[in-house]
Amino acid sequence: MDKAPFHIDVLLFDGVTLLDVSGPTHVFSNAQSNGKQAYRLRYVSSNGASVTTACGVRLTPDVGLSDASGANYLLVPGGMGVDDALKDECLRAYLANWRGQRLMGICSGSVLLAHAGVLDGRPATTHWQRERFVKKRFPTVDWEIDKLYVQDGHIHTSGGVTAGIDLALYILKQDCGTAAALSAARGMLVHLSRSGDQSQFNDVLSAQFASNCQLSDLVDEIAQSPARSWTLSEMADFAGTTPRTLTRRFNAQMGMSPTKFVEAVRVRLAADRLASGMPAASVVRSTGFGDHQRMQRAFKRQIQSTIRVFETRVR
């Protein structure tokens, strides 16, 4: 018997960031499993009325909260409208009492989950610009702002627009396998290839879906914890093999050494965070480069570009 598609409810509210909605939902709406749609999406607002996004686009939901039931997943995006949405007691109660398989907070959507109490005692992330606010307002949450996305049981949170896409791909990989996730990622070109050497980022993307299980686990851990030292010996210990064998496997599968791969991952994450507006000093610290000059040299080696190219995008 064919597996029924997962039902995802997507929350809408005035001032929602359109890309927080469209990024992850594009992943889910186009995902295929055994030649069939893997997900079914429904859009929900507090009272069922149309909403105006932060960029002025009007969206019409399918139902209101009172008629929303039966969803496997709930996706809660963020945006400038989050602060007003915090005043919606019906929404807070709905989130606090929601029961399903996955609850996803995209960018500052995590703030709404924290307000509902569902993140108490849990690790979570949100957009870096909200760090001071959330740590003061919701001190019982274990905020890990440097993370792109965090999973704790059935609750997932992400740090921004592109991180929301990364999270959606991660969930797709869990639900439907690596082939479906890789197909979606390649179709969207979500790897950071807007400047520099695109093939380097293709290598990083493909590595996330490595056929070798030990290698795949190591790749996932490097992406999750880029600030670790990740010496060759440390990587080999994690993979349960010798440095020589690990180097051979990386060269055969990715066409680069393990240390070059770590640098490529760090550059990808650093460029993403710089483009989102994160200060360079925070990017250096969170991606494991150690200092600004090391990061600059890595950018030149990996993508023949400079840090300034990415920093100017948000000015």
- 18 and 81 share a domain? yes
- 198 and 246 share a domain? yes
pLDDT at 313: 44
What pLDDT, in 10s, does the model give residues 199-251? 334 445 555 555 555 677 888 788 778 889 999 999 999 999 999 999 998 88
pLDDT at 230: 95
Residue 159 has pLDDT above 60, yes or no: yes
pLDDT at 200: 31
For the whole prediction, is pTM greater than 0.75?
no
- 217 and 284 share a domain? yes
- 118 and 90 share a domain? yes
- 139 and 203 share a domain? no
What pLDDT, in 10s, does the model give residues 95-109? 999 999 999 999 999
150 within some domain: yes
Mean pLDDT calculated for residue range 287-304: 89
Mean pLDDT calculated for residue range 79-96: 95
179 within some domain: no
Q: Confidence class of residue 254 from pLDDT cuts 50, 70 and 90?
A: confident
- 59 and 91 share a domain? yes
163 within some domain: yes
C-alpha pair distances (Å), 87 with each of 46, 65, 274: 12, 16, 32
What CATH number is associated with residue 302? 1.10.10.60
180 within some domain: no
- 293 and 225 share a domain? yes
- 165 and 195 share a domain? no
197 within some domain: yes
What pLDDT, in 10s, does the model give residues 11-50? 999 999 999 999 999 999 989 888 889 999 999 999 999 9
- 141 and 246 share a domain? no
- 199 and 164 share a domain? no
- 157 and 285 share a domain? no
- 162 and 17 share a domain? yes
pLDDT at 210: 53
Q: Confidence class of residue 146 from pLDDT cuts 50, 70 and 90?
A: confident
1 within some domain: no
What DSSP string describes the chain?
A: -PPPPEEEEEEE-TTB-HHHHHHHHHHHHT-EETTEE-EEEEEEESSS--EE-TTS-EE--SEEGGG----SEEEE--BTTHHHHTT-HHHHHHHHH--SSEEEE-TTHHHHHHHTTTTTTSEE---GGGHHHHHHH-TTSEE-TT-SEEEETTEEEESSHHHHHHHHHHHHHHHH-HHHHHHHHHHHT-SS-SSS-HHHHHHHHHHTT-SSHHHHHHHHHHHH-TTS---HHHHHHHHTS-HHHHHHHHHHHHSS-HHHHHHHHHHHHHHHHHHTT--HHHHHHHHT--SHHHHHHHHHHHHS--HHHHHGGG-
Q: Confidence class of residue 195 from pLDDT cuts 50, 70 and 90?
A: very low
Q: Among the three residues 138, 171, 204, which one is the final residue of a domain in this structure? A: 171
Q: Which domain, by its residues, includes 226? A: 191-314
Number of domain units in the chain: 2
